Amino acid sequence: MTSFNYYYDVLNLEPGSTKEDIKRAYRRLAQQWHPDKFSKKPDQLPEAREKFELIKEAYHKLIHAPYGDTLKNVSTKISVRPPSAEEHYQEGIGLLRAGKRKQAVESFNQAIRKRPNYLQAYQARAFTLEQLGLGLQAKADFEKVATLKQQMSSAPSSNPDVNGRPDVERTFQRGVLQFKSRRYGAAIEHFTTVIHLNPNHIEAYRYRSQAYFRRGYDDKANADFRRLRDLEQQAKEPASRPSSSSRPSSSPRKSSPRKSSPRKSSHSTSRSLSRWQCIHTLSRHTGDVSAVAIARDGKKLVTGSHDKTLRLWSVKTGSLLRTLSGHSQAVHCVAVSWDGKLIASGSADTTIKLWDMRTGELLRSFGNLISGHSATVTALAFSPNNQFLVSTSQDATVRLWSLKSGKEIYALKDYPEEILALAMGWDGKAMVYGGNSNQLHIRHTKTGKLIRSFSIDSQPNRAVALSRQSSLLAVGSGDKIVMWNRQCQKKLFELKGHTAAVSSLVFSTGNQIVVSGSYDQTIKLWNASTGQNIDTLTGHQAAVCSVACSLDGKVIVSSSADTTVKIWQQT
């Protein structure tokens, strides 16, 4: 029989709480986890239903039990037999619902010790470890989950190998089916199993990186993409090598240009004709540099990183001016106010922080456990009058904040998927956003009223930009950029040249130039009127996460998963 301790934990209450406390806790949690709130999130709906039923069960058990019985049950902890694996698992789930993750992990440990192949316990522990930031331990559990599922679903004829491991190609094909069905979590589990069994399986890395992108795990997607590029390069090398009797020192160098001439010649031509020079490489961050923003006067830039810090730099000298610490998890986005006095940063810890550009002082935090975003903050934009801040998040909401009071003015909750990209017009009257859906929404900034929606060909949309007059809209749609006339909702043309997803976009020098950053490690400059690729900037060793331009268009800054920031200057 489940103890009252467990039910109190489910409602996040102390044992012996009053009936009124129980009612208040039930109303709050039932509203949070009601399945109707997850109708547009089918991947989260089963979990919501399970949590909602558990909350109802706990409420009915506690509210209808005599108060003395609950106290008696709480105080009597002597058991006639050791708890079973199932009881340890249920205890862990209760602790998890109560936000006690570390204690939950210990309960799942106990369940697994008693039942070594307890699939649900491994799965719950994996997600809990991931939330605690213990990525390596979580990865091991995810791999175990995938293996157990494979063993359970394999028919006798599927024949694991002689070591009892699941068949690699069969597991890969199952992952592909899950991916095409948009069940990205299950697909990741299958591809992880494939990679565990065959660390050089190129296609498993390719599919898993895309699944990670669609789930919003950019750092993991970047790591897979880097590994994919390395494996592809290794696969090309044997084809360009001479026979074993030849000396390997010079022959590969002579034959490889013929093998990859189109790619190398385009880059070499760009470098020889490039009017841009990398004047500084900034390398003080210790994690992926996910975001960069530059002040309008072009003198300072700010970067945000997965190492949980922001750093303020001098554009002219490349020197580090200040390090800002305060976030408890990775920083995913940064913005500089139009007057250059404020910095805003958004993080995986779900908070937004406002900093003084001059002193580095933390002025305010937006959002907490009760209000604000409930998932990673993905993009930020200041209004030109410095009165408002707009934020988007993986929780599929857009929120408008008052910079003066710190209060949330409104929250828009009608986008069907995670929101990954945001741009505000230069007059501050309109904003556009998109993400893991084929929809782009344009709204009035101050009121949140919908102006129009665009239907985009592919997804996810990780980058958007509005021209200075807000007449042109650039959308990063997969590995291409689609140019739209915003007013008449007309698709103008596509910019093609990147070989991986476009991660960041910005207009430079009025409407004339579009600058794009991509996971293919390059930055490209395009003529916004003709779609011609004007220049390609190379030098980063991993995915480019963010790009920004000075107001005069003479400086470009780029940040990358290679932990560096580059400052490019027009020559």
Domain boundaries, the chain: 4-64, 85-151, 180-231, 276-570
Q: Are strands 565-570 and 430-435 parallel, antiparallel or unpaired?
A: unpaired
Q: How far apart are the first and last CA of the chain?
A: 76
What local confidence, expressed as pLDDT, does residue 31 receive?
A: 81
What local confidence, expressed as pLDDT, does residue 304 receive?
A: 97
Residue 410: pLDDT band with limits 50, 70, 90? very high
Query: Got the DSSP string for 298-319?
Result: SSEEEEEETTSEEEEEETTT--
CA distance 377 to 508: 25
CA distance 322 to 335: 16
pLDDT per residue as tens digits for the range 533-556 = 999 999 999 999 999 999 888 999
Residue 369: pLDDT band with limits 50, 70, 90? low
Query: Got the DSSP string for 371-423?
Result: SS-SS-EEEEEE-TTSSEEEEEETTS-EEEEETTT--EEEEE---SS-EEEEE
What SS3 state is found at 76? coil
Which of 367 and 153 is assigned the larger pLDDT?
367
Task: Compute the mean pLDDT over every residue in the chain, rounded to the nearest whole number.
Answer: 81
Whether the pLDDT of residue 257 is over 70: the answer is no
Residue 119: pLDDT band with limits 50, 70, 90? confident
* DSSP symbol at 208: H
Residue 72: pLDDT band with limits 50, 70, 90? very low
What SS3 state is found at 510? coil
Question: Is there a contact between 549 and 258 (Cβ–Cβ < 8 Å)?
Answer: no
Own/partner contacts of 70-74, CB < 8 Å, gap of 24 or more, are 70/4, 70/15, 70/16, 71/15, 71/16, 73/3, 73/4, 73/5, 74/3, 74/4, 74/5, 74/8, 74/15, 74/16
The CATH superfamily of 85-151 is: Tetratricopeptide repeat domain (1.25.40.10)
Helices (H), 84-134: 85-97, 101-114, 119-131
pLDDT per residue as tens digits for the range 414-436 = 898 899 999 998 889 999 999 98
pLDDT per residue as tens digits for the range 554-570 = 999 999 999 999 999 98
Q: What is the pTM of this model?
A: 0.57
Whether the pLDDT of residue 102 is over 80: the answer is yes
Polymer length in residues for the chain: 571
Residue 458: pLDDT band with limits 50, 70, 90? low
Question: Is there a contact between 377 and 390 (Cβ–Cβ < 8 Å)?
Answer: no
Whether the pLDDT of residue 157 is over 80: the answer is no
Is residue 345 classed exposed, middle or buried when 0-12, 13-18 and 19+ CB atoms within 10 A define those classes?
buried
What local confidence, expressed as pLDDT, does residue 273 receive?
A: 55
Question: Is there a contact between 446 and 415 (Cβ–Cβ < 8 Å)?
Answer: no
What local confidence, expressed as pLDDT, does residue 555 receive?
A: 94
Whether the pLDDT of residue 46 is over 90: the answer is no
**Per CATH, which fold does 276-570 belong to?**
Methylamine Dehydrogenase; Chain H (2.130.10)
CA distance 442 to 135: 37
CA distance 159 to 471: 60
Residue 496 makes CB contacts below 8 A (sequence gap 6+) with: 479, 480, 481
Average pLDDT value for residue range 474-497: 85
pLDDT per residue as tens digits for the range 294-321 = 998 889 999 999 999 999 999 999 999 9
| Both structure tokens of 149 | 């599922």
- What's the Cα-to-Cα distance from 168 to each of 189, 204, 452, rounded to whole Å? 13, 10, 47
Residue 88 makes CB contacts below 8 A (sequence gap 6+) with: 107, 108, 110, 111, 114, 121
Sheet holding 523-527, edge to edge: 502-508, 513-518, 523-527, 533-537
| Both structure tokens of 160 | 């694991």
Residue 370: pLDDT band with limits 50, 70, 90? low
SS3 content of the chain, % helix, strand, coil (to 5): 35, 30, 35
Residue 357: pLDDT band with limits 50, 70, 90? very high
Q: Does residue 35 have a cis bond before it (omega within 30 degrees)?
A: no
Q: Of 146-155, 238-247, 250-259, where does mean pLDDT reach its minimum? A: 250-259
Rg (CA), the chain: 26
CA distance 140 to 468: 49
Closest CA relative to residue 96, chosen from 173, 33, 180, 185: 33
CA distance 418 to 396: 4
pLDDT per residue as tens digits for the range 395-409 = 999 999 999 888 999
pLDDT per residue as tens digits for the range 187-219 = 888 888 888 778 888 888 888 887 887 676 767
What local confidence, expressed as pLDDT, does residue 515 receive?
A: 96
Average pLDDT value for residue range 5-31: 78
* In this structure, CATH architecture of domain 4-64: Orthogonal Bundle (1.10)
Closest CA relative to residue 295, chosen from 276, 320, 314: 314
